[in-house]
């Protein structure tokens, strides 16, 4: 999709964010890469996946933006050993000269994996689960934020993050992800 265009889904239900930059569509190939990163501990894939995000990221994301990864609950972070969104965010921050706030958002509630849940079930599961770090709240107020995740599925996780960032006073929020699930596009393949 060309920069600045608005998809049919966003036209029908206007988002609370200022745009999405997805490196690719979610398909078998991108799924294998994400699973290798997240569950295969192939963290060396992060720079490659981030370059695909960067290729779609608008030029407006410059050093005055904050990079905030979608958070993992501390127990999931402990068991996995890393936050894949933070790895991608670090690469984007480094490439664009932005400040990375790895602790900008906190997942306060341990939630089960969201795979297999529908949109409303995902939203219910995430209710009250994400908030802005009190330590980072002053930086987020009035800031331009790039929210980074690995995969944008139903939008429930990003919606919870956007709500928290908006409550903290973020001025502008863009989403960057490696892969985006678009059911409309899957029908074309």
Q: For residue range 23-45, what is the model confidence (pLDDT) as tens digits?
A: 999 999 999 999 999 999 999 99
Classify residue 5: in a domain, yes or no. Answer: no
Instruction: Express as a percent the part of the chain with pLDDT over 70.
Output: 90
- What is the count of structural domains for the chain? 1
Mean pLDDT calculated for residue range 154-169: 92
pTM across the whole model: 0.88
Token pair for 31: 């799924």
Mean pLDDT calculated for residue range 60-82: 95
Classify residue 151: in a domain, yes or no. Answer: yes
Classify residue 167: in a domain, yes or no. Answer: yes
Classify residue 3: in a domain, yes or no. Answer: no
CATH number at residue 29: 3.40.50.2020
> Can you give the residue range of the structural domain that contains 124?
17-186
**Distance separating alpha carbons of residues 178 and 46, to the nearest angstrom:** 10
Classify residue 128: in a domain, yes or no. Answer: yes
Q: For residue range 128-150, what is the model confidence (pLDDT) as tens digits?
A: 889 999 999 999 999 999 999 99
């Amino acid at each position: 999709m060309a920069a600045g265009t608005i998809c049919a889904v966003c036209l029908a239900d206007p988002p609370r964010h200022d745009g999405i930059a997805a490196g690719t569509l979610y398909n078998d190939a991108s799924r294998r890469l994400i699973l290798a990163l997240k569950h295969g501990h192939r963290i060396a894939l992060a720079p490659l996946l981030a370059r695909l995000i960067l290729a779609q990221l608008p030029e407006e994301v410059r050093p005055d933006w904050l990079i905030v990864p979608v958070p993992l609950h501390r127990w999931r972070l402990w068991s996995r050993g890393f936050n894949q969104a933070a790895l991608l965010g670090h690469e984007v921050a480094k490439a664009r000269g932005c400040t990375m706030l790895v602790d900008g958002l906190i997942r306060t509630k341990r939630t089960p994996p969201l795979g297999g849940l529908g949109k409303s079930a995902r939203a219910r599961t995430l209710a009250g689960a994400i908030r802005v770090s009190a330590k980072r709240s002053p930086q987020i107020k009035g800031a331009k934020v790039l929210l980074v995740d690995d995969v944008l599925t139903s939008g429930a996780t990003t919606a919870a993050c956007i709500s928290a960032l908006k409550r903290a006073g973020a001025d502008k929020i863009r989403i960057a992800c490696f892969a985006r699930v678009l059911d409309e596009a899957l029908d074309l393949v």
